[in-house]
Structure 1
Amino acid sequence: MDIGVGLPTTVPGARGRDLTEFARRADQQGFSTLAVLDRLVYDSYDPLVALAASAAATERIRLASTILLAAYRPSVAVLAKQLASIDRISDGRLVVGLAAGGREDDFLASGVRYGGRGRRLDEMISELTRTWQGEGPFAGVGPRPAAEGPPLLFGGHSPSAMRRAAEHGIGWIAGGSSATAYPELVRQAQEEFRRHGRADKPKMVSLSYVCLGPEGRERGGAYLRDYYSYIGPKAERAASAVIVDEDRLRRTVDEFAEAGCDELLLFPCTSDPDQVDLISKAVLA
């Protein structure tokens, strides 16, 4: 199983210099992917800007949006151009993770209707891929991606999310599901691929939150309570699940590998670049 790491773009107060150093170390330490989260109404960096900066600071590591909430973005042509630009800057290292989104405030802030976001995402997928192939509704939108277009990964626990993965993607990503529940998600994704006549198996991805080092539980818990405050009391469940010691982190990695996960993304709850070294020592050394 591959091990990737998240870029702490959603940790409030993260400095730009810390993000680029974080990316540089992740590239050097041997992580498979550098991933970003997406949220508009929050004290966070834009994920596409962060990926562009990371592309310039790295040479080897994959860059991935996990997940980009594409449906709240008003212009498909602009989004296609942004993603193709990152893909070209990184020499084809981009993986585009997409989902419909579940926070109404992000849509209100961008002036896009929250209702019907799933249908909008389906339409956007078609236009994105056609634009990258030079066949979009607006001629001349470039640059072209490094290849035919970056591979697509889909998130969301609805049947539509699994369908999108089978119709358009390389796989599916779970947002913080436990390893205990993961085998059933693997089964569902594989069944959906077979239903759509695909002989290949979906790439299965998941993420976990990590905050190693002194005061890890306090720092990680405070961040996750704030980040997930929109889900009410369930935010405490997310905060209590943060991984704060090396032994538990290694057990979590082993559990996901046994559950059929192909890549686990470890998202830090601090913007301190030393967190990269601590995670690497625990699971890559």
Structure 2
Amino acid sequence: MDVGIGLPTAHPAVNGDDVVAWARHAEAGGFSTLGVIDRLVHGSWEPLTALAAAAAVTERIGLATSILIAPLRAGTALLAKQAATVDRLSHGRLTLGLAVGSRPDDFAVGGVALAGRGVRTDAQLRELRELWSSAEAGKPSAVGPAPARPGGPPLLLGGHAPRALERAARFGDGWIGGGTGPGMFRGGAEQFRAAWERAGRTGRPRLAAIAYVGLGPGGAEETEEYLRSYYRGAGPFVDHIVRNAATSSGQLAELLGEYEEAGCDEVLLMPCVPNRDQIDRAAEAVSTAA
């Protein structure tokens, strides 16, 4: 199982030097991927812009939106151009994780209707592939650049609802579970595989998950404070997210083992503490788990 790590871009206090140094350190630490999460009504950075910066200072490590809220990007042609640009900058290292989103404040501030977002996302997914195909073919009316990889970046689609899993099976190259723990991941993965078969898809889809981490002295307190702020308005569900965050090396090693047993191909460790020592602490836990 691959293990990636998130950039600390959901922490409003971080600056550009922090993110660049984090990206370089994570690549040197052997992590598979740099991930970013997405909100509009929050001090978090715009995901594709952050990954463009990471692409410029790294050479090997993958880049992933985990996830990007697709219907907030109502202009699909612009989204296709932005994603293809990051894919070209990184020489084909981008994985585009997408989901429909659920927070009413993000949609209200973004001027986008919350209702009907699933249907709109279905249309976006079709259009993204068409736009990338046109760019690859060099059509005069194409929205370029063409992505680095034929067909465009791999698409991982998120969400646990039946409709979300069916969408991932029809349009995606795989599925990504949220930071809800190995138990919910296992159930979602089983349902996704069944949906993949019903959709007549062949081959083995990629299964990924995110896990929240905050290690070292004070990590448990900082993790809970961060998650309750980021998921404010989520009601009792935030308690479940807090319970499934790893706040010690032993807990993280155990968590990774459970994800691997559940058939996960890659876990992205999303930092609840923005200090760079989290990279080394996480790397040590990964080594222990291995």
Matched to 1:7, the amino acid is L
The residue that corresponds to 2:250 in the other structure is 247
Q: Are the counterparts in 2 of residues 62 and 93 from structure 1 also a CA contact under 8 Å?
A: yes
The number of residues matched between the two structures is: 285
Q: Is the 8 A contact 1:8 1:268 kept in 2?
A: yes
**Cα distance in structure 2, aligned partners of 1:61 and 1:47:** 16
For residue 163 of structure 2, the aligned residue among 160, 165, 169 is 160
Matching of residue 236 in structure 1 with residue 239 in structure 2: yes
Alignment-derived partner of residue 58 in structure 1: 58
Q: Kindly indicate whether the alpha-carbon contact (under 8 Å) linking 1:96 and 1:150 is maintained by their aligned counterparts in 2.
A: yes
Contact 2:207 2:265 in 1 (8 A): yes
Q: Does 1:67 align with 2:75?
A: no
Distance 1:226 1:175 in 2: 17
C-alpha separation between the residues in 2 aligned to 1:270 and 1:131?
38
Q: Are positions 1:269 and 2:276 aligned together? A: no
- In structure 2, the partner of 1:76 is 76
Residue equivalent to 2:287: 284
Structure 1 residue 71: Cα displacement: 0.3
**1:199 Cα deviation after fit:** 2.5
Query: Alpha-carbon deviation of 1:93?
Result: 0.4
The residue type equivalent to 1:246 in the other structure is: S
Which residue in the other structure is 2:147 paired with? 145
Which position in structure 2 is the counterpart of 1:130?
Answer: 130
AA matched with 2:128: L
CA contact (8 A) 2:156 2:172 kept: yes
Shift of 1:233: 3.5
Structure 1 pair 259/151, CA: closer, same or farther in 2 (3 Å)? Answer: same
Q: Distance in 2 between matches of 1:75 and 1:181?
A: 33
Deviations 1:90-134 (A, max 9, x none): 000000011111012111212111110001101111111111111
Q: Secondary structure, in 3 states, of the residue corresponding to 1:53?
A: helix
Among residues 189, 213, 228, which one is paired with 1:210 in the alignment?
A: 213
Partner of 1:177: 180
Alignment match of 1:224 (pick from 227, 231, 244): 227
Q: Are the equivalent residues in 1 in contact too, given 2:180–2:240 (CA < 8 A)?
A: no
C-alpha contact (below 8 Å) 1:193/1:201 kept by paired residues: no
Q: 1:160 to 1:233 in 2, by over 3 A?
A: closer
Task: Give distance in 1, aligned partners of 2:236 and 2:196.
Answer: 35
> Structure 1: which amino acid aligns with 2:134?
G
Secondary structure at 2:122 match in 1: helix
Q: Structure 1 residue 138: deviation in Å?
A: 9.2
- Distance in 2 separating the partners of 1:186 and 1:269: 25
Deviation at 1:186, TM superposition (A): 2.1
* Equivalent residue number for residue 260 of structure 2: 257
How far did residue 177 of structure 1 move?
2.6
Q: Which deviates more from structure 2 when the two are superposed, residues 253-262 or residues 131-140?
A: 131-140
Structure 2 stretches of 5 or more lacking a match?
Answer: none
